[in-house]
Amino acid sequence: MHIVNTDQAEAWNGPEAVNWAGLSERDAPVNGALTRTLLAAARIGSGDRILDVGCGTGETTRLAARLAPRGRVLGVDLSALLLDHARSAAVAAGLANVEFAQGDVQVHPLPGSTFDIAISQFGVMFFADPVAAFANVRYALRSGGRLAFVCPRDMSENAWYVTPMSALHPGRSADQLPASAMFSLADAARLTGVLERAGLTDIHTRPVDAPMAFGPDAGAAADGFLGSGPVLAVLQRADGPPPEVARQLLVEALRPYEGPDGVRIPGAHWLVTATRPVDGHRGPRDSAGVAGG
């Protein structure tokens, strides 16, 4: 398997994946409202062939498979651990039209001109070379095929990130918090430029506000954040707080977000749609050194 995003591969095959798998099984952190918005924008038809980029434990893969009972869905992800969960869940759901592949979407040998639609729920922000990665997705789409994904807007607009990270960095404003790859596509102009350079067209970015779900109460939410990459990085710093102090700080910060449905924290996202041009012209993927189509 060819992987160029080695840091991400390490993270998503290690503690980050264990934590995300636990969160996904307990309480999909990406709240249902955003997932529904994504799938509505994807306009999946019953016979469509769909690619799910960075599918994780396969929640959107399964939902897409149900919307395309005569079609097929391929979920691709870096994480063996998350794909194990995705495969088991698809079998348990009795879905015969899904398959999964472990790979780095930036360089994975996707079949060319194959998919009607590519979707992603928070799986496209971690590419070291996003132009190459989106060009690879464009190559996998059929002529006129469509891309729909959601990703976070600016860090400062995302209370689900700012709240726990501010609790661990008292006195710092939102723009002084450690940056995260989660927000690599937050700038709409840059995001649009990346997709254009990847050979996509008809690009639309629409802001969508939808809360993120983090478990039944502040204690569970704190435990989830304690296993996330950004918080683990704080704990590993020489001047980082001991885990039990960090947990207490997180619980106090997250308590105001407890409600009847558990911990829900506002999230600010982009819903992005784009199209592979109908002419199927050779584009940047060729210059990225991967076969064109």
Ligand X SMILES: C[S@@+](CC[C@H](N)C(=O)[O-])C[C@H]1O[C@@H](n2cnc3c(N)ncnc32)[C@H](O)[C@@H]1O
Q: How far is the CB of 217 from ligand X (least distance, A)?
A: 21
Kind of pairing between the strands at 258-259 and 98-102: unpaired
Task: Give the count of beta carbons closer than 10 Å to the beta carbon of residue 111.
Answer: 12
Q: Shortest CA distance to 106 belongs to which of 129, 78, 77?
A: 129
Nearer to ligand X, 79 or 158 (CB): 79
According to the binding rule CB under 6 A, does residue 54 interact with ligand X? yes
List the one residue from 38, 68, 95, 121 that touches ligand X (CB under 6 A): 121
According to the binding rule CB under 6 A, does residue 8 interact with ligand X? yes
CA–CA distances in Å: residue 280 to residues 16, 118, 140, 283: 38, 16, 11, 9
List the one residue from 41, 50, 51, 76 that touches ligand X (CB under 6 A): 76
Instruction: Mark the segment that binds ligand X (CB under 6 A) among 89-97, 122-130, 203-211, 242-250.
Output: 122-130
Cα(175)–Cα(194) distance, rounded to whole angstroms?
24
List the one residue from 27, 42, 56, 130 that touches ligand X (CB under 6 A): 56
Nearer to ligand X, 126 or 134 (CB): 126
Instruction: Mark the segment that binds ligand X (CB under 6 A) among 5-13, 193-201, 243-251, 260-268.
Output: 5-13
Cα–chain center distance at 105: 12
List the one residue from 44, 51, 82, 135 that touches ligand X (CB under 6 A): 82
Cα–chain center distance at 144: 24
According to the binding rule CB under 6 A, does residue 139 interact with ligand X? no
- Distinct helix (H) and strand (E) counts, the chain: 12, 10
Q: Which residue's structure tokens are 């993120």?
A: 212
**In angstroms, what is the C-alpha Rg of the chain?**
19
Q: Which residue's CB atom is positioned nearest to ligand X?
A: 56
According to the binding rule CB under 6 A, does residue 183 interact with ligand X? no
Contact residues for ligand X, defined by CB under 6 A = 5, 8, 12, 20, 24, 30, 54-57, 59-60, 76-79, 82, 104-106, 121-123, 126-127
